[in-house]
Amino acid sequence: MEDVRDLLKNIFIIFLVSISIFLVLFMILAFTDKKKNLRKIGFICLWSSSIVLFIFIVFYILSTNFSYLFNSFHTVFFPQGNYMFSEGSLLITLFPFGFFYQYFIRLIIGSSAGALLLAIIGIICIFVQKKQERRFKIGK
């Protein structure tokens, strides 16, 4: 279980660093030249959410054979094989296979909802930029 804790801690650190870098770059783009960078921000949000959604669609399709996906995941992150437990072990009793499948589906749905929200923000930024450009051209 220490392996799992260490893996989750590293994933959480990578997540926080990524969010921090994203926010810093977002603020730099947002405050340097709002008129020119709003479209860039929109495209960044739209493309990044599209990539995430594509990856999650692939994972969802792969989840039709979840036992293979589950074993492959554990083989990659725990190559020493210490994720295998007997059917009667306490860990398997507390966390049956269905628990992990339901968690995986909830992770896919929740992350996809976040990616869709990011895509909507990107689309709004692009449309606001276009509207500002039209207003600027009409005002000339």
pLDDT digits (tens, 9 = 90+) for 57-104: 888 888 888 888 888 888 887 777 666 776 777 777 788 888 888 988
Alpha carbons 76 and 80: distance in angstroms, whole number: 9
**DSSP of 57-119:** HHHHHHGGGHHHHHHHHHHHH-TT-TT---TTSHHHHHS-HHHHHHHHHHHHHHHHHHHHHHH
pLDDT digits (tens, 9 = 90+) for 40-67: 888 888 998 999 899 988 888 888 888 8
pLDDT of residue 50: 92
With residues binned 3-state (H G I as helix, E B as strand, rest as coil), the percentages for the chain, rounded to 5, are: 90, 0, 10
Distance between CA atoms of 100 and 120, rounded to whole angstroms? 30
3 pLDDT exceeds 90?
no
Ranges of each domain in the chain = 33-139
pTM: 0.70
What percent of the chain is predicted at pLDDT more than 70?
A: 91
Residue % of the chain over a pLDDT of 90: 11
What is the predicted pLDDT for the residue at 140? 55
The confidence score (pLDDT) of residue 17 equals 92
Q: In this structure, are residues 105 and 63 in contact, taking their beta carbons and an 8 Å threshold?
A: yes
**Which two structure tokens, joined as six digits, stand for 131?**
């509207």
On whether the CB atoms of residues 63 and 69 are closer than 8 A, the answer is: yes
Give 66: exposed, middle or buried? Use CB within 10 Å, 0-12, 13-18, 19+: middle
Residue 105: closest CA among 74, 71, 61: 61
3-class secondary-structure state, position 10:
helix
